[in-house]
């Protein structure tokens, strides 16, 4: 395991925003205050992610306009990665690495019950800071790389379905319309 399990005596699960909610479709704000409120937000985000059985969660998925994501996600070697990143920036794909695409299925708590194949690079690295404001860098391969890319995208207003072909996007939205999420969601107005 890389990282630390969160203290689950803290925090409360909140309902998940879904596609169509404006907070998911624009870049959210940089975090500038590293205080108790930020720690409490991260606790709530872990609780919300676990309640919805996700492997990653961005703050705008619980309606908060701040660049924070949390994750508890395995990579393709079976290593479990747990942590949070604040104000993440995606690094360029390393020039000395052979770029391979992984076209596994992807889903999103904000597009409940839908899945679609989406090619993603098999490696990703993000830099940012932790809740103490200290610089961090997180890198991953396989499914965990997909998670880092997916969560960073969220904070810049992009959902994975925005990267699909028109037809696949429509199909994902149809799956969502036909399914019933197993967790609480925020109704769209």
User: Known catalytic residue: 92?
Assistant: no
Shortest gap between Cβ of 78 and Zn ion (angstroms)?
22
Contact predicate 122/42, CB 8 Å: no
Which of these is catalytic: 106, 117, 151, 178? 151
Among 64, 108, 118, 148, binds Zn ion (CB under 5 A): 108
The count of chain residues that interact with Zn ion, using the rule CB under 5 A, is: 1
Binding segment (CB under 5 A) for Zn ion, from list 35-43, 65-73, 105-113, 180-188: 105-113
Contact predicate 86/49, CB 8 Å: no
Gap between the Cα atoms of 37 and 19, Å rounded: 26
Give residues 3-22 in contact with Zn ion (rule: CB under 5 A): none
Binding segment (CB under 5 A) for Zn ion, from list 40-48, 65-73, 101-109, 135-143: 101-109
Q: Which residue is nearest to Zn ion (CB)?
A: 108
Binding segment (CB under 5 A) for Zn ion, from list 43-51, 81-89, 100-108, 120-128: 100-108
Contact predicate 5/175, CB 8 Å: no
The CA-based angle 56-57-63, given to 5 degrees, is: 170
Residue 51 makes contact with Zn ion by CB under 5 A? no
Burial 47-84 (b: 16+ CB within 10 A, else e): bbbbbbebbbbbbbbbebebbbbbbbbbbeeeeebebb
Q: What are the catalytic residues?
A: 151
């Amino acid at each position: 395991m890389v990282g630390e399990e969160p203290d689950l005596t803290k925090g409360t699960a909140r309902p998940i925003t879904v596609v169509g909610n404006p907070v998911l479709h624009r870049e959210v704000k940089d975090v500038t205050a590293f205080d108790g409120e930020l720690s409490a937000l991260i606790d709530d985000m872990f609780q919300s992610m676990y309640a919805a059985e996700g492997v990653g969660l961005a703050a705008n998925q619980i309606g908060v306009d701040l660049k924070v994501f949390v994750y508890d996600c395995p990579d393709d070697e079976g290593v479990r990665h747990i942590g949070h990143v604040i104000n993440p920036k995606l690094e360029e794909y390393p020039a000395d690495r052979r770029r391979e695409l992984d076209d596994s299925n992807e889903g999103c708590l904000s597009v409940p019950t839908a899945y679609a194949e989406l090619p993603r690079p098999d490696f990703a690295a993000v830099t940012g800071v932790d809740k103490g404001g200290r610089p961090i860098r997180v890198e991953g391969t396989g499914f965990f790389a997909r998670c880092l890319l997916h969560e960073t995208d969220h904070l810049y207003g992009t959902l994975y379905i925005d990267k699909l072909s028109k037809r696949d996007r429509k199909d994902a939205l149809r799956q969502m319309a036909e399914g019933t999420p197993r967790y609480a969601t925020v109704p769209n107005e």
